[in-house]
Structures are given as C-alpha cells and as structure tokens.
Structure 1
C-alpha cells in the first residue's frame, strides 16, 4: 500500500478523529485543526501531485485560517454565560463583606477574604471591623466601611 496514494483519505480520517476528540474533550481548539486537516484531505484528493511538503504547508495554512476565523467569530459573538466572572477572581470579590485582621491605618492594612488574608486600602478601620470590597487593584483590595445596623 502506497501512503501517497491514500494521503487524502488519511487527512480526512485524521480530521474525523480530531472532531471526535473535540466532542469527547470539549475545548473548541481541535475543531479548527480538524477543519485544516479536512481541507488538506480534499486538496490531496483533488491534487495528488501535491506531495507531503505541500500537504503540510496546506494543513498549517488552513488550520491557521480556521483558527483566525474562529477567533474573530467568538470575539464578535461571545457565548452568554450565567456567571461571566467565573474565572475572574478579582471581579468575584467585589461586593463581598470582609473582616479587618490588621487595622487599616493611614489607608493600608489587611483583611480576611474567604480563608486568606489580602492587603487592603481604604478608610481607617480597627481590627475586627467589617468592610466591603469595592475594587481590586493589582492584588490589593479597596474597601469601604460597612455601617453597623442598630436595632432600637
């Protein structure tokens, strides 16, 4: 069996395997490579004289074109999410109520966020007081005092 005679079918089989793998392990990246492989398979069937080097160049070119088109598509048509801040830890912290663990004096101190301590900036607050995160800048949380509610 001569592999050069069946190169087009081999590229199409690789494309199918990549597409199946994408379905089993989603990540949207193998789809574009599968498209490059499929395009190369079709070209190899239409132009058997393309040769291995030409096929590899075709595969690289079509895969790159598919990735660029896919990237543009996803940038202009973002997938809606129920939790858009899922992977943005800083954005998820905004609005959280925290406890001052190291007094904020002169605008700086430390607060407990979840199970960790973070450097904080905000109004002067004593240890044990409650604060609310209003912003996160480069690993420092900006806080505001939480007004205590008194029940008379």
Structure 2
C-alpha cells in the first residue's frame, strides 16, 4: 500500500523536475509513474507488476510523446538563427590578409575570419559562397 503513494509522489516529482530542468524526457517518466500510481491505487497488483507496468508505461509514453512532438514542431521564421556561418553566405567582404595558396583572412563586420578560395590581394572584394566550421569559402566578387 505504501508503494502506491510512492508512485504518485515520484510522478509528481518527475513532472516538476521537468519544469525546473527542461529536457523533454522526465515528463514522460512522470506520466508513466502517475499511470502506475492510478493502477496501484485501484487494483494493488504488487510490486513486480507495478515495476513492469512502469517500464511499459515509460516506453509507451516516450514513444507517444516523441510522435506528437515530431508532428507539432514549429518551422522557424529564421531557420539559420543558430548557424552563424551559414548566415554569412552571399555577403561581400574585404580581404584583410592575402589569400595565397587557397587560404587567407577576410573582414566580416568587426571581426576577421579564415577564408579559403582563389588567390586575392589585401583590399579585394570577395563574396562568401559557403562555410565549413569556422572557415568561409569565398570567390572573387563580380563587378556590378
């Protein structure tokens, strides 16, 4: 009988912990513990059955939760929000250290980045055409 209330308390603690430290997983185990608590309070099946029910409910609630989260993910208005280098593609920048043998530096805003591309002299304008890690791939800028 005491394990019945323990499931209820554990479920509530897990759900509250999800709000305190969000990670999108504790809530599903909390729901599984609450399901187990409801069954344990109504039927009192014994600890081995309760543990099995909790295990089954945990797997089921995680799978159902993942299904609904995947279906309801919002598409961002700015898909490149956290991809700083990808946001730079298309910008025209100035070479600050000559690009020799395919590598040099360019100024983007108030910072300098390592750039790879065709040879270019200091002061030349180049266009960012790609990014890989912290390196920008550039091409000679076409005059307008």
For normalisation by structure 2, the TM-score amounts to 0.72
Q: CA deviation at 1:148?
A: 6.2
Q: CA deviation at 1:24?
A: 4.4
Structure 1: unaligned runs, 5 residues or longer: none
Q: Distance between the aligned counterparts of 2:64 and 2:43, measured in 1?
A: 25
Aligned residues between the structures: 144
Q: Distance between the aligned counterparts of 1:111 and 1:101, measured in 2?
A: 5
| 1:64-118 CA-partner distances (Å, limit 9, x unpaired) | 3222222233333322333332333332332344442332234332334566544
Query: 3-state DSSP class of the match of 2:7?
Result: helix
Structure 2: unaligned runs, 5 residues or longer: none
Aligned to 1:9: 5
Aligned to 2:39: 43
Judged with a 3 Å threshold, the aligned counterparts in structure 2 of structure 1 residues 64 and 95 are, in CA distance, closer, same or farther, namely farther
C-alpha RMSD of the superposition:
3.0
Aligned to 1:30: 26
Q: Distance between the aligned counterparts of 2:16 and 2:88, measured in 1?
A: 38
Aligned to 2:15: 19
Q: Distance between the aligned counterparts of 2:136 and 2:21, measured in 1?
A: 36
Deviates more, 1:106-115 or 1:30-39: 106-115
